[in-house]
């Protein structure tokens, strides 16, 4: 055991973590022993021979043909070992903070002045959704005015998700923010850092941004934890990209929130129903995130997100770690996680916002300005949505690098 740890330390000298009083352990994804069980469940799940109502499209939830194709792909054309090897290219660790075991990626740049960047995922994502952006962010980039930017990238798993232990029942995103700040400052030794958040990660990230105003010195979001005004009530001229996002927001508010209510009010019902049910998880998660490529209602035929959605790895991580139930509790634990009221945060740290066309919510620039300490950029991209790290990694990398120019200012 000792020699294995020494070997790991030799292989990843740049990832050695300073840890006054914290027991940081190297971590590798090792779920091979769960795969036979998952595959048997996938194989033995019976689906109907034909759709009940052939005219009922994705607007009525998961489509049979899509689910069956994914079931076939999961069985015949999906190699977990290969996915696991890819995940293990990222240096990973665990550490116990306030009794919670926290799993995190810590990929360091080779540049001595790299900016620490905390990437925060949500539901139904995981640390895996940032896989395509981690390496590029660690690499050096030179801005048009000659400033060199690179990042040390830290991607923690939210408590209760995948490899982080489930928190106590009364845990909230403010608790997660506090322990993640300890991870950055006390465990890893960064006195200041930047962050990016999406979904629940934007709630955690915004708490960090507005509360830890001396340590969080730049923040980027592609969703904010506020319920912006009804887009139809706004008297503004919309760009073509914004028109799509507005329609998407209206559809989501009208018919897309059922999963959210179930998870907020009856987390154990859906949590146990799908606990050991990969095809069930795929239908539940996939129906939420497939909309962008399968006949988006009223938005025309062009796909708005990655053709590989939903990623079977995204779902496999929940299935293989048996954390679907503990992940959905975040909705119950944070009933006001997305608020209609905004407050100007007590920070002067720069904020960047990127609107990816197929996002769940349209937040106009004027509104983002109100909830930012200092808004330094508002950008729009015509491809991608809620999972920007998977959908449109080059755009996310570009926007985070540009934010890096303002770090510490
Ligand atoms: C939350 O629950 C833990 C035990 O699960 C308990 O120790 C703690 O006091 C509780 N905190 C609050 C604020 O109720
Ligand atoms: C909407 O904006 C236009 C142009 O700025 C203005 O002429 C019009 O009065 C506004 N309408 C309302 C209802 O505010
Ligand atoms: C940071 O927060 C503290 C406490 O809320 C506040 O007193 C201080 O003014 C804030 N700093 C900035 C720059 O807003
Ligand atoms: C480059 O631009 C950034 C952001 O505007 C600024 O902070 C920095 O000082 C500039 N660097 C140079 C060398 O002009």
Ligand 3 pocket, 165 CB below 6 A? no
Helices (H), ranges, 110-160: 131-138
| Mutation pick for ligand 1 pocket among 168, 178, 333 (CB with most ligand atoms within 8 Å) | 168
**Model pLDDT, residue 293:** 67
CA of 399 to the centre of ligand 4 (A): 16
Does residue 199 carry a catalytic annotation? yes
**Model pLDDT, residue 401:** 98
CA of 235 to the centre of ligand 3 (A): 34
- Assigned fold of 1-409: Rossmann fold (3.40.50)
CA of 235 to the centre of ligand 2 (A): 6
Rounded average pLDDT per 10-residue block, the chain, 409 residues: 43 49 96 98 98 91 93 96 97 98 98 97 97 98 96 98 98 98 98 98 98 98 91 84 90 91 98 98 88 67 75 95 98 94 93 95 93 97 93 97 92
Distance CA(218)–CA(402), nearest Å, equals 11
**Model pLDDT, residue 14:** 42
Name, in order, each residue with C-beta under 8 angstroms of 205's C-beta and a sequence gap of 6 or more: 118, 120, 195, 196, 197, 219, 221
Residue 98: burial class (beta carbons within 10 Å; 0-12, 13-18, 19+): exposed
Q: Which atom of ligand 1 is nearest to the CA of 168?
A: 5
Of the candidates 178, 153, 135, the residue with the CA atom closest to the CA atom of residue 404? 153
CA of 291 to the centre of ligand 2 (A): 34
Of the candidates 11, 89, 19, 41, the residue with the CA atom closest to the CA atom of residue 318? 41
**Model pLDDT, residue 296:** 60
CA dihedral 274, 279, 282, 283 (to 10 degrees): -90
| Mutation pick for ligand 1 pocket among 159, 166, 170 (CB with most ligand atoms within 8 Å) | 170
Which of 259, 331, 353, 358 is the catalytic position?
A: 331
């Amino acid at each position: 055991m000792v020699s294995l740890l020494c070997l790991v330390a030799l292989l990843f000298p740049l990832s050695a973590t300073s840890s006054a009083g914290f027991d940081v352990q190297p971590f590798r994804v090792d779920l091979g022993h769960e795969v036979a069980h998952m595959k048997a469940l996938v194989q033995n799940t019976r689906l109907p021979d034909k759709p009940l109502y052939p005219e009922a499209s994705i607007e009525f939830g998961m489509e049979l043909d899509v689910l069956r194709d994914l079931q076939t792909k999961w069985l015949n054309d999906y190699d977990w070992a290969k996915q696991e090897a890819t995940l293990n290219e990222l240096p990973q660790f665990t550490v116990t903070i306030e009794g919670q075991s926290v799993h995190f990626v810590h990929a360091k740049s080779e540049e001595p002045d790299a900016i620490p960047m905390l990437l925060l995922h949500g539901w139904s994502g995981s640390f895996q959704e940032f896989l395509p952006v981690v390496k590029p962010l660690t690499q050096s980039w030179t801005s048009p005015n000659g400033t060199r930017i690179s990042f040390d990238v830290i991607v923690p798993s939210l408590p209760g998700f995948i490899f982080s232990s489930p928190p106590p029942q009364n845990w909230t995103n403010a608790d997660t923010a506090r322990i993640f700040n300890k991870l950055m400052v006390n465990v890893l030794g960064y006195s200041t850092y930047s962050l990016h958040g999406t979904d629940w990660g934007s709630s955690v990230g915004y708490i960090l941004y507005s509360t830890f105003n001396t340590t969080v010195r730049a923040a980027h979001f592609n969703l904010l934890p506020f319920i912006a005004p009804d887009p139809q009530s706004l008297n503004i001229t919309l760009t073509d990209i914004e028109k799509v996002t507005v329609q998407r927001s209206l559809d989501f508010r009208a018919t897309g929130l059922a999963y959210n209510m179930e998870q907020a009010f009856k987390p154990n019902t859906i949590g146990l129903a799908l606990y050991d049910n990969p095809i069930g998880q795929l239908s539940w998660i996939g129906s939420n995130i497939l909309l962008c490529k399968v006949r988006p209602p009223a938005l025309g035929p062009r796909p708005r997100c990655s053709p590989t959605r939903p990623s079977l790895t995204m779902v496999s991580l929940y299935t293989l770690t048996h954390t679907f139930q503990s992940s959905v509790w975040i909705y119950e634990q944070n009933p006001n996680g997305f608020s209609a009221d905004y407050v100007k945060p007590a920070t002067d740290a720069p904020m960047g916002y990127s609107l990816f066309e197929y996002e769940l919510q349209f937040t106009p620039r004027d509104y983002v300005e109100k909830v930012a300490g200092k808004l330094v950029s508002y950008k729009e991209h015509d491809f991608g949505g809620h999972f920007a790290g998977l959908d449109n990694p080059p755009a996310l990398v570009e926007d985070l690098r540009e934010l890096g120019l303002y770090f510490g200012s």
